[in-house]
């Protein structure tokens, strides 16, 4: 295994990478599940066998990061130590154990003329993933794409370039040695932005682009891609406490949604309280949130009951804080809560706490978000928690996949028609 | 009902149209099926009540078409006579009778912690449809969007502008009178190209763009849209006659696929024959096709057995003729046929004629097309024939919907989670 040191300015031939991926995809699409699973296990073994090499490459990223003055938190996210390498390997083994989605035949029915018509689940072909996250995304995304029969072109963030390159190289080499076609997993070897621009215009060679990252990355991809895109955008998740809510339950769910973990897209960022319970609920949740070090930014009515709260701006109500901060407002009705969420929210995950059946069903139907939770924390919005076994991310789009995306969401389908010589009259 | 004569150069405020559609969509999304169905029937009644007005507006398009020198076939496609108005009204009544896809809850399961998690089918919101077809698409597309709970912005071809405007106005007015929110069905009132450019960049207001038309239209949409697109592109459909084919069946399927109707995307444009049966099959299919006035353009091996065939160019093998022309080639194996189809085809619909089970299953799995038919004519590739009850078009994309798109394909889903106070630990 040789890692060629490619300077930042090197022109990468994205078209050749995509063509190679396309060839790999055609062969990968018809592989049996056992062959793909064996390759995933071989990749896990290779991570452990090449620990030292992974840590050495990772150290180059850490050194560059320290030089650039990255924060301690960011350096920690970037670090690949033994524990994290073990976790990546374990992750690959878990993906190998999941059901294979490819080839599933469903909705089969027989037509009056005897034709048997159904759908068969198929890989997309080639998926491009553009991300800014931790290097473990390289391992996760690569494994999920291979398992779902797709070749993948990965484009990670510049901070993790050395780590990402060694991980992708180990996976592709180990996979090929175990019988996968070469180039199932390729990483764009430079941090040159022009390579991304090239990649986004290879429709016909790349079937799907999944961007995961900040606003400017997503917007750049949307502006420039001629390939279909599934976005993984921000989560301004709401908890709405209805007039009939069990207030103990409401307090528990608000606190868990906001503070159980803050730097994640399914953490609550906004609290809405029905005016009928504002006087009773707001003082106690104010105390609970303050005790958990959460800063509250409220409208006038909120501040009446929580005097320590800061005034909320319009921007606060729209914000994804990813921090110990929550915006809050009082609403006059469930309808007003729904309108507020559809206007200020990011269509990710919203929770209602209520004892009223009509409120629960109306909220479920009318809120235009990927995930709607009734009497449950927003923090459950996750592929693993939803029982999907894994997750490539959480789509904030509506086309194809919405909410947590698992293996099934990395596939398309074809119609299959079995006849005995039927012609159309 | 007043039709304002908008000059071609008028600036249309697409953003306002889209905002109005968005408001309509929010109300339409929560309407009961009966309310939507009653509105569709009211629209059908209104078509019949306003026959004279429809024909008068249509005559303006026909007069302009005659002046522009449109062919007799194109003028016929453009014409709305009593029979076609009856057919449009009947079409709306049929859509009213279909099952409503909105609100269906599926894949519901209970997690170990007691959370009940499933998916609920929901409208997209606002759909933009850009088309160059006959004016009846205005009626069909409008009805299917309303039924699936979506507001729609229609942008038809310039040749049919008067017809499209009166149809959309009648539908929206009749729908509103029957209780639908206003602006469920809007037509872009000009033929100004700038309006389309504006429309394609209203992401956040429009959820999905469906272009139906020629190559230049589709490419313009792909280049410019920041909204997700589902393309309805061309069909270079293949029939492959395998080594073990029943040759009577093969002849029947080839003839039906090519010649039963030619101007449609699911007609066969290309014939592939396994070399083992070329000597027996090609002469007879040559005679059959010639008798049906089909011109054959073949490779060297084909011309050996059908001397009257013209030589096929590379372009012929890629062409969607939409005419009494078929390209033909001899292939040495099923694998070669699959490779040929994946290379030269348009990923629409392909048929194999075979008696061999392995060939049938391998072809089904390896051909990368929206529809794969075993021993059945390509002409069955159609929403109605597939038992979907209707069709908004045939997607040649892989994301979300592939092949015939019915009401279900005009919806998205949300995850719904019913809890009893669960929090994440």
Residue pLDDT, tens place only, B302-346: 999 999 999 999 999 999 999 999 999 999 999 999 999 999 999
pLDDT tens readout for residues A256-295: 999 999 988 999 999 999 999 999 999 999 999 999 999 9
Tell me the whole-structure pTM to 2 decimals: 0.91
Tell me: the pLDDT tens digits for B297-311?
999 999 999 999 999
Q: Do A98 and A33 form a contact (C-beta atoms < 8 A)? A: no
DSSP H or E run through B314: helix B314-318
Residue A202 has a pLDDT of 95
How many residue contacts between A and B have a Cβ separation below 8 Å? 211
Q: Given A345, A360, A382, which residue is the final one in a domain?
A: A382
Give me the pLDDT at residue B4, please. Answer: 47
CATH code of the domain containing A270: 3.40.309.10
Residues B248, B224 share a domain: no
* Residues whose CB is less than 8 angstroms from the CB of residue B357 and which lie 6 or more positions away in sequence, other chains included: none
Residue B120 lies in a domain: yes
Query: Which are the contacts of A142, defined by CB distance < 8 A and separation ≥ 6?
Result: A43, A152, A154, A167, A168, A171, A185
DSSP B154-206: EE--GGGHHHHHHHHHHHHHHHHHTTPPTTSEEE-----HHHHHHHTT-BTTB
Distances (CA, A) of A72 to A65, A75, A77, A224, A294: 10, 5, 9, 34, 22
CA angle A157, A159, A161 (to 5 degrees): 70
Q: Treating both helix axes as pointing N-terminal to C-terminal, what angle do A247-259 and A275-291 enclose, rounded to 10 degrees? A: 50
Does a structural domain hold residue A398?
Answer: no
Residues B207, B246 share a domain: no
Helix or strand holding residue A10 (H, E): none
B8 lies in some domain = no
Walk along chain A (425 residues) in steps of 10 and give the mean pLDDT of each run. 47 90 94 97 98 98 95 92 96 95 96 97 97 89 97 95 96 96 94 90 94 88 90 93 98 98 94 98 98 98 97 97 96 98 96 98 96 98 91 92 96 98 96
B284: distance to nearest CA of chain A, Å? 18
Same domain, B374 and B243: yes
- Tell me if A421 and B376 make a contact (CB, 8 A cut-off): yes
A403: left (phi over 0), alpha (psi -120 to 50) or beta: left
Contact residues, chain B, for A380 at CB < 8 Å: 115, 417, 419, 422, 424
Q: Please answer whether residues A167 and A85 qualify as being in contact, where contact means their C-beta atoms are separated by less than 8 angstroms.
A: no
Do A146 and A36 belong together in one domain? yes
**Inter-chain CB proximity B398 and A208 less than 8 Å:** yes
To the nearest whole Å, the CA of A62 is away from the closest chain B CA by 32
* Residue B89 belongs to a domain: yes
Q: What is the domain extent for residue B241? A: 237-385
With respect to residue A417, please indicate whether it lies within any of the assigned structural domains. no
State whether A188 and A287 are in the same domain: no
* Closest-approach residue (CA) in chain A for B246: A421
Domain presence at residue A425:
no
A227 and A330 share one domain? no
Which structure tokens are listed for A188? Answer: 């764009």
Find chain A residues with C-beta within 8 A of B122's C-beta: 368
Contacts of B348 (CB under 8 A, 6+ apart): B233, B234, B235, B236, B237, B265, B266, B369, B370, B371, B381, B394, B396
Residues of chain A contacting B151 with CB distance shorter than 8 Å: none
Distance CA B343, CA B331 (A): 14
CB A164 within 8 A of CB A153: no
Are residues A207 and A83 both part of a single domain? yes
Do residues B244 and B229 share a domain? no
Instruction: Pick from A233, A261, A422, A425 the residue to mutate for testing the B interface (most B CBs within 10 Å).
Output: A422
A421 vs B29, B375, B381: nearest CB: B375
Alpha-carbon gap: A121 to the closest alpha carbon of chain B (Å): 10
- Give yes or no: residues A120 and A246 share one domain: no
Q: The domain spanning residue A54 has which CATH number?
A: 3.40.605.10
Within a domain: B332: yes
Domain count, chain B: 2
Domain boundary (A213, A233, A253) is at: A233
Residues whose CB falls within 8 Å of the CB of residue B259, separated by 6 or more in sequence, listed in order = B289, B292, B293, B294, B324
> DSSP code of A355?
S
Contact A111 B424 (CB under 8 A): no
DSSP A333: S
Which 8-state DSSP code applies to residue B203?
B
Which residue, A186, A208, A233, sits at the end of a domain? Answer: A233
Mean pLDDT of chain B: 94
CA A371, chain centre distance (Å)? 13
**Residues B203, B248: one domain?**
no
Would you say residue B374 has pLDDT above 90? yes
* B387/A342 Cβ within 8 A: no
Same-domain status, A223 and A113: yes
Flag if A419 and B117 touch (Cβ within 8 Å): no
- Which of B208, B404, B422 faces A377 most closely, judged by CB atoms? B422
How many Å lie between the alpha carbon of B148 and the closest alpha carbon of chain A? 14
Tell me: do A91 and A138 sit in the same domain: yes
Residue of A nearest to B418 (CA): A374
Interchain pair B414, A402: CB under 8 A: yes
Q: How much is the ipTM here? A: 0.92
Let me know if residue A418 belongs to a domain.
Answer: no
């Amino acid at each position: 295994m040789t890692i060629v040191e490619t300077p930042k300015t090197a022109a990468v031939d994205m078209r050749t990478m995509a063509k190679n991926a396309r060839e790999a995809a055609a062969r990968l699409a018809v592989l049996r599940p056992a062959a793909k699973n064996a390759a995933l296990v071989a990749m896990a073994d290779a991570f452990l066998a090449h620990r030292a090499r992974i840590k050495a490459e990772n150290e180059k990223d850490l050194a560059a990061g320290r030089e650039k003055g990255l924060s301690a938190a960011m350096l920690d996210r970037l670090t690949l130590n033994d524990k994290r390498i073990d976790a990546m390997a374990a992750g690959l083994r878990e993906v190998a154990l999941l059901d294979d989605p490819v080839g599933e035949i469903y909705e089969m029915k027989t037509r009056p003329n005897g034709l048997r018509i159904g759908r068969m689940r198929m890989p997309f072909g080639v998926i491009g993933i553009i991300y800014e996250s931790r290097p473990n995304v390289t391992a996760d995304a690569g494994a999920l794409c291979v398992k779902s029969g797709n070749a993948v072109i990965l484009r990670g963030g510049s901070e993790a370039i050395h780590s990402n390159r060694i991980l992708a190289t180990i996976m592709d080499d180990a996979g090929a040695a175990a019988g996968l076609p070469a180039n199932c997993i390729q990483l764009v070897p430079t941090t040159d932005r022009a390579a991304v621009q090239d990649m986004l215009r290879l429709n016909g060679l790349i079937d799907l682009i999944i961007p995961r990252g900040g606003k400017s990355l997503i917007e750049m991809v949307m502006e420039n891609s001629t390939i279909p895109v599934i976005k993984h955008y921000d989560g301004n998740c709401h908890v709405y406490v209805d007039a009939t809510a069990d207030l103990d339950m409401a307090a528990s769910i608000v606190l868990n949604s906001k503070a159980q973990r803050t730097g994640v897209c399914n953490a609550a960022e906004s609290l809405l309280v029905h005016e009928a319970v504002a006087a009773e609920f707001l003082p106690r949740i104010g105390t609970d949130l303050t005790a958990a070090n959460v800063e509250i930014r409220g409208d006038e009515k909120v501040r009446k009951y929580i005097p320590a709260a800061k005034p909320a701006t319009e921007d606060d109500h729209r914000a994804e804080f990813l921090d110990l901060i929550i915006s809050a407002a009082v609403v006059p009705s469930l309808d007003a809560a729904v309108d507020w969420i559809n206007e200020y929210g990011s269509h990710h995950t919203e929770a209602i706490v209520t004892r009223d059946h009509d409120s629960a069903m109306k909220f479920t139907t009318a809120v235009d978000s990927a995930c709607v939770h009734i009497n449950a924390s927003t923090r459950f919005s996750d592929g693993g928690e939803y029982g999907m076994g894994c997750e490539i991310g959480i789509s904030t789009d509506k086309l194809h996949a919405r909410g947590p995306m698992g293996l099934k969401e990395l596939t398309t389908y074809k119609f299959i028609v079995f006849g005995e010589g039927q012609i159309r009259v």
